[in-house]
Amino acid sequence: MNNDWKEYLQTNGVQLFDETADNKKADNTNIICDLSQFSVIVIAGDDAASFIQGQFTNDVNTVDEKNSQLSAICNNKGRMIANFRLFKHQNNYFLSLKSDLVEATIQHLQNYILRAHIAIQDVSEQLIAIGVSGKNATDLLAPFINNINTDVDSISFNENYIAIRVPGSQLRYEIFCSYDHAIALWKKISAQAEVVNSSSWDYLNIQSGIPFIDANNREEFVPQMANMELINGVSFSKGCFTGQEIVARMHYLGKLKKRCYKININTDKKPETGDKLFAENARAGQNTGAIISVEKNPEAGYDALAVIQIADIESKLFLHNTKADANEASITVEDLPYVFDAE
């Protein structure tokens, strides 16, 4: 995180992360928040497009300066090392991903560079990320970017700002800009919208069914387990990429045993990403899944996105591996904003 930006926010009383965040504001009002839980990697060079086409799960050829996409990189076993939003600006490609995956992602990609003419760099110090959401989001951003596109995954930009429309029940935009331009935007919009902390943006991603893995879930799931193909994060026609054989075999020939579900966990203590879930009838010590992301529900407990065994989804689920704790951390499966066929 840019230290000057962090100091500016803290000087102005902004709490960056708070597990007791009032996420009701995120649901119902115009909000602005810092997105420093995400970092940005740039991939530049003459061979950038062809290189990442051979590494990413989605078709890079559909990305241009007006269209972004969700994507992922996998290991040889088809397990995701990271998933992210990919966008293009000034002929360079940018990945917005959870900050604790930056080092592993860069290291993985560098292993495949060989003779490719590209450079990979963490540019989070130079590129500030801000979230703006609400029914008036486009009006709030209008002084900074003209004619903002409202289509999901679209990019609106000028020489100072990049605004990407991301999924949500209300208009949601992720803004990328320099430190100086971030201050200008923050000063104006924070006077017209509720300032919330970064956790509220992760809460909105949960409500939208968008699972961003972190270091606690790295190399645990094939993309389909995290519903990546349902949120336009996988192309099965683009050709080869690292781990593609496993991912394609699961799609065409395999039987998917796990899916990502939205759940509510009845507990007063915030669970952690990577925490295991258990089914009542499972064999002792055998978990049925794990939490990808989790944030406070404004009414009760914690909402989460979790990968769970499809066969156990009708069973009683709970967080702890003892029946004594079942009532204290029981789990309710809730609807996602998209559907999938029961495998």
Domain co-membership, 281 together with 161: no
| Residue 73 within any structural domain of the chain | yes
Sign (positive or negative) of CA dihedral 325, 212, 236, 73: negative
pLDDT for 286 = 86
CATH of the domain at 72: 3.30.1360.120
pTM of the model: 0.94
Residue 46 CB-half CA count within 13 A: 3
Q: Are 60 and 116 contacting, i.e. CB atoms less than 8 angstroms apart?
A: no
Domain co-membership, 325 together with 194: no
pLDDT for 329 = 77
Give the structural domain span for 167. Answer: 3-207
Domain co-membership, 19 together with 165: yes
Alpha-carbon distances of 175 from 172, 195, 301, rounded to whole Å: 10, 15, 30
Domain co-membership, 186 together with 278: no
Domain co-membership, 324 together with 180: no
pLDDT for 321 = 65
pLDDT tens-digit profile, the chain (343 residues): 888 898 989 898 887 776 666 788 888 899 999 999 999 999 999 999 999 999 999 999 999 999 999 999 999 999 999 999 999 999 999 999 999 999 999 999 999 998 889 999 999 999 999 999 999 999 999 999 999 999 999 999 999 999 999 999 999 999 999 999 999 999 999 999 999 999 999 999 999 999 999 999 999 999 999 999 999 999 999 889 998 889 988 888 877 899 999 999 999 889 999 999 999 877 666 899 999 999 999 998 999 999 999 999 999 998 876 554 555 678 999 999 998 765 4
The two structure tokens encoding residue 266: 């009845």
Domain co-membership, 172 together with 285: no
Number of domains in the chain: 2
pLDDT for 326 = 53
| Distance, CA of 89 to CA of 137 (rounded, Å) | 22
| Distance, CA of 247 to CA of 252 (rounded, Å) | 9
pLDDT for 25 = 84
Domain co-membership, 48 together with 148: yes
Task: Count the neighbouring beta carbons within 10 Å of the beta carbon of residue 120.
Answer: 20
| Residue 131 within any structural domain of the chain | yes
